Amino acid sequence: MPDLGRLALAIALLLAFYSIGANVFGARRRRPEFIASARHALWAMCAMVTIAVVALWTGLLSSDFSLEYVASYSSTTLPTVYKFTALWGGQQGSLLLWTWLLSIFTSVAAYQHRRRNPEIAPYAMAVLAGVAIFFLGMLNFVTRPFDLLPVIPAQGTDLNPLLQNYWMAIHPPSLYTGYVSATVPFAFGAAALMTGKLDDSWIRSTRRWAIFSWFFLTLGNLFGARWAYEVLGWGGYWAWDPVENAAFMPWLVMTAYLHSVMIQERKDMLKVWNLALIGLAFSLTIFGTFITRSGVISSVHSFTQSGLGPYFLSFLVLIVAAYTGLLIFRARELRSPAEFESYLSREAAFLFNNLMLIGIAFAVFWGTIFPVLSEAVRGVKITVGPPFFNSVAGPLALGLIFLMGVGPLIAWRRTTASNLVKSFTAPAITGVATGVVALAAGLRTWYVLTAFSLAAFVLGTVVVEFRRGVGARRHMLAEPAPRALVNLVAKNNRRYGGYIIHIGVIVAFVGIVGSSFFKTEVKKSVREGQSFTVGAYQLRYLGLSESDTAHMESATARIEVSRNGRVVTEMAPAKLFYKREQQPATKVAIRSTPFADLYIVLAGLDENGNQATFEVFLTPLVFWLWAGGLLMAIGTVVVMWPNVRERAAIAAAVRRAAPVAITGEPAPGGD
């Protein structure tokens, strides 16, 4: 199996090289048979990488410790599901997963564009193959997943205990899917620059890829946050760790991109900006990988640190330099007849929305690299942690939330004062009223008051939008309200799906604010039978139960939770000890309600187990962070739902862009 894996990776690399050559030659000489051959090579490359992945999985599942990777990240006692997820538990495996996803997405894009966008698609495929060459080069020559050990150990080192969690089974693949799928719109942007086909056909034909990437970046970030919440045991979910930041930045830039392309589609403006944004989003995915694997910036994500930094940095510099060069080369052609009438227009709202999103992304980037700058300039090591990011990104987030409310309700071009009053009166009153109620309820923190008021304002604007749409349908079609609502969303899924995402963002934002500002923490040592109070809850320590398996030892405390004298539940936080790694860990117990999460950590035990120390967090509203995430996911599915009219628009754009197909075949639209 290892030989098969190695061979498959070598062939995949050759196929990627061939695909670049055949695509470029076929496109330049107008030889469709070469383009078709290049496409088949990409599919074959995907098959080869799949074989390598299956080979490594076989090694992991059969505990083949002759493989260095399996011996380092698995053991015979590791539960089967984690043997499976160990594929991305280490350096080589996670790069293999990355390459596999890239080869799958490249194959799908190649299939979608076998007849579409014939002038830029071959170059886009060449760019995708170029990115694949970098990763396949790493897997073949630098960090090989199929290296063998000279002496086969009887047992493996095991997977890092922190990664033995179900969220870890889905967080890295989600994030990687988000990262890697951003390569497709980037490749089409680069191809548009190479060929000079600079209209919006590259945006339209990769719009779903951009949303797909955003969707998985969103999920990846949320799953990672949930993992941190359940596993790290400090009661929080986001620590502004460099690697978290590295996943957050592409999300911000992709969000900006998804908004600004609407201006180009609608008004043919911002061509340079959109091309720059997609270049930036892709570069940030590589930057994220560089940070995770270089060890340049210390991080809690040290699972995959290695000496790969220089390779990723070189690749990053190459991409940024080549792409910037292309942008400069095409600068003159990218000028478009832009029109701007008023700051009270949707264009303006989108421009400032982009400013805020990129502003936050820059602040996060700046804070992430500042320790390196400080060491280079002053020779002093410093840390840039949560207080900095909260102080800088917090106020910017408020600006962004405000614009989320303003943007959708104002018209393109310009809005009159009377329209403004008509649109915003109800949402503004809702926002102010929420602030007054919060003040009356005793809230005195300016940030929380502003945040809650703005959240209510934005929700108000979304309600106004839905009401308008439903009202129009009821008025003209006499549809009952529920049916009008369903039809409204179904017929305009892009727009109203977007609003559902906005609601999700607001709900998550309320969860973040609530959980950040009102967390209560209590640390208490108690004997069996003793009680203590946390907020409105009374906690009674009932006792300890211990278990011992081949994989780990665990001590689980039982805690009876009461409220107003009534028992509501029993919770069971535990201390674990992983035998192979000789490493302790905690298992948090969480009781989640829409009002607050009760979060219990078993922090310590005395010698004979009579006395236990608990760290308990009562975190209000954190439930809504995850609920908001779910709404964002639902909204994205609505946005991505196939829409017949949009297919027609794509087909029309493509026909305008490429009246003569070099393949000689008709050019159908839609992805």
Partner 1 sequence: MRARMTGVLAIVSLAIVLSLAAARTLPSAAERPSEEQVAQGLTCQCGCGLTVANCNMPTCSFSVPTRHQIQDMIDHGKSQVEIIAFYRHKFGEKVLSAPTTQGFNLLAWITPFAALLAGGVLIVFTARRWHREPDSPPSQPAPAAPDENSFDPELRRKLAEDLRKGG
Nearest Cα neighbor of 102 from 12, 22, 14, 18 is 12
Q: According to the binding rule CB under 8 A, does residue 606 interact with partner 1?
A: no
**Nearest-approach distance from CB 149 to partner 1, in angstroms:** 28
Separation of alpha carbons 143 and 284, rounded Å? 22
Structure tokens at 354: 């982009």
Separation of alpha carbons 143 and 134, rounded Å? 12
Which one among 208, 293, 330, 575 touches partner 1, defined by CB under 8 A? 575
Burial class from Cβ neighbours inside 10 Å (0-12, 13-18, 19+) for residue 335 reads exposed
Collapsed DSSP state (helix, strand, coil) of residue 596:
strand
Separation of alpha carbons 149 and 165, rounded Å? 28
How big is the site for partner 1, counted in residues (CB under 8 A)? 89
Which one among 603, 634, 651, 661 touches partner 1, defined by CB under 8 A? 603
Binding mask 165-194 for partner 1 (x = CB under 8 A): ------------------------------
Structure tokens at 143: 């960090």
Which one among 239, 284, 513, 598 touches partner 1, defined by CB under 8 A? 239
Nearest Cα neighbor of 545 from 524, 570, 566 is 570
The separation between the first and the last C-alpha atoms of the chain, rounded to the nearest angstrom, is: 37
Q: Which of residues 437-456 bind partner 1 (CB under 8 A)?
A: 446-447
Separation of alpha carbons 660 and 32, rounded Å? 13
Structure tokens at 22: 């055949």
Q: According to the binding rule CB under 8 A, does residue 46 interact with partner 1?
A: no
Q: According to the binding rule CB under 8 A, does residue 649 interact with partner 1?
A: yes
Q: According to the binding rule CB under 8 A, does residue 469 interact with partner 1?
A: yes
Q: According to the binding rule CB under 8 A, does residue 634 interact with partner 1?
A: no
Please name the residue that has the structure tokens 């990011």: 389
Q: According to the binding rule CB under 8 A, does residue 281 interact with partner 1?
A: no
Piece in contact with partner 1 (CB under 8 A), picked from 41-49, 334-342, 563-571, 622-630 = 334-342
**Nearest-approach distance from CB 618 to partner 1, in angstroms:** 13
Which one among 40, 495, 524, 540 touches partner 1, defined by CB under 8 A? 495
Strand-strand pairing, 574-578 and 583-587: antiparallel
Q: According to the binding rule CB under 8 A, does residue 641 interact with partner 1?
A: no
Separation of alpha carbons 595 and 627, rounded Å? 12
Q: Are 147 and 68 in contact (CB under 8 A)?
A: yes
Q: According to the binding rule CB under 8 A, does residue 473 interact with partner 1?
A: yes
Which one among 3, 147, 333, 521 touches partner 1, defined by CB under 8 A? 521
Q: According to the binding rule CB under 8 A, does residue 415 interact with partner 1?
A: yes
Separation of alpha carbons 38 and 17, rounded Å? 10
Piece in contact with partner 1 (CB under 8 A), picked from 7-15, 47-55, 319-327, 469-477 = 469-477
**Nearest-approach distance from CB 585 to partner 1, in angstroms:** 8
Which one among 494, 524, 540, 558 touches partner 1, defined by CB under 8 A? 494
Q: According to the binding rule CB under 8 A, does residue 351 interact with partner 1?
A: yes
Nearest Cα neighbor of 637 from 505, 502, 493 is 493
**Between 237 and 623, CB nearer to partner 1:** 237
Structure tokens at 621: 């509203």
Q: Which of residues 191-210 bind partner 1 (CB under 8 A)?
A: none
Q: Which of residues 363-392 bind partner 1 (CB under 8 A)?
A: 363, 366-367, 370, 374, 377-378, 380-388, 390-392
**Between 221 and 493, CB nearer to partner 1:** 493
